[in-house]
């Protein structure tokens, strides 16, 4: 967090470019640090990161802001209280007016809330995240995909033995993850593996519970 400062040529060129290109997935113009500005901070953190320019009309016209000695510190506190984030805030002098630049990196700890709600950046706007959006974000954090999640309502009795047999044959034909036929199936002399063992090896059964991918098997064969 810094107060008004002179810009380097590179910084000036960067700001000129942002103003000329207009709002986007990573740039937002606001005339004040209002509720929507705070939502934008959270939305940027939940997406690809971005920059909020405060003191700029949505058409790119620089209106400027009035800053006091404690303005940026107060803004930092408002942002932290609403989002638990601490982005870099800088007040820059631009054409004899003051612009506040809030630079928000993409957060490694998603989802980031804004006063109890969650937003993501889509094109030039903020959208409230759906339950599916939040689920995907949480799964990404733990290194899982949707189909790897356990489906507590399903049991092995829901799986058709014939479909499992066909699935084993398909795995063997592909040659990537061998799945020996069940004991005494196809004249294998009892050298095969039980369905439960194969499902566990293929990651379709975790701690005795089927994953969503296992439940989808009938629809894939």
pLDDT band at 174 (very low <50, low <70, confident <90, very high): low
Q: Please give the structure tokens belonging to residue 220.
A: 């894939």
Which of 107, 141, 175 corresponds to the end of one domain?
A: 141
How many domains are contained in the chain? Answer: 2
Q: Are residues 163 and 66 in the same domain?
A: no
Q: Are residues 8 and 83 in the same domain?
A: yes
Residue 126's pLDDT is what? 98
Count Cα atoms within 13 angstroms, Cβ side, for 221.
19
Pairing of strands 209-210, 205-206: antiparallel
Q: Are residues 50 and 72 in the same domain?
A: yes
What is the span of the domain harbouring residue 129?
Answer: 2-141
d(CA 4, CA 58): 22
Note the pLDDT tens digit of each residue in 76-125. 999 999 999 999 999 999 999 999 999 999 999 899 999 999 999 999 99
Which of 141, 171, 187 corresponds to the end of one domain?
A: 141
| Domain CATH for 95 | 3.30.950.30
| 3 state SS of 11 | helix
- Bridge partners of residue 99, in order along the sequence: 92
**Dihedral angle, C-alpha 110, 113, 117, 123, nearest 10 °:** -60
Class of residue 97 by CB neighbours under 10 A (exposed 0-12, middle 13-18, buried 19+): middle
Note the pLDDT tens digit of each residue in 45-72. 999 999 999 999 999 999 999 998 899 9
Residue 186's pLDDT is what? 47
Q: Are residues 42 and 127 in the same domain?
A: yes
Task: Tell me the pTM.
Answer: 0.68
Residue 188's pLDDT is what? 44
């Amino acid at each position: 967090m810094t107060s008004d400062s002179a810009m380097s040529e590179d910084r000036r060129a960067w700001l000129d470019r942002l103003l000329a290109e207009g709002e986007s997935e990573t740039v937002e113009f606001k005339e004040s640090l209002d509720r929507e500005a705070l939502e934008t901070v959270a939305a940027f953190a939940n997406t690809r990161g971005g920059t909020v320019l405060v003191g700029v009309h949505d058409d790119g016209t620089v209106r400027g802001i009035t800053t006091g000695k404690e303005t940026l510190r107060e803004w930092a506190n408002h942002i932290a209280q609403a989002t638990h984030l601490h982005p870099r805030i800088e007040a820059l002098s631009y054409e004899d007016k003051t612009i506040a630049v809030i630079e928000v990196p993409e957060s490694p700890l998603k989802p980031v809330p804004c006063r109890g709600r969650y937003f993501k950046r889509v094109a030039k706007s903020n959208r409230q995240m759906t339950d599916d959006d939040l689920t995907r974000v949480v799964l990404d954090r733990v290194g899982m995909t949707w189909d790897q999640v356990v489906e507590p309502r399903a049991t092995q009795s829901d799986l058709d033995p014939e479909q499992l047999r066909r699935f084993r044959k398909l795995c063997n034909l592909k040659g990537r993850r061998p799945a020996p036929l069940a004991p005494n199936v196809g004249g294998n002399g009892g050298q095969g593996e039980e369905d439960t063992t194969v499902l566990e090896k293929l990651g379709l059964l975790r701690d005795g519970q089927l994953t969503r991918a296992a439940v989808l098997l009938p629809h894939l064969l």
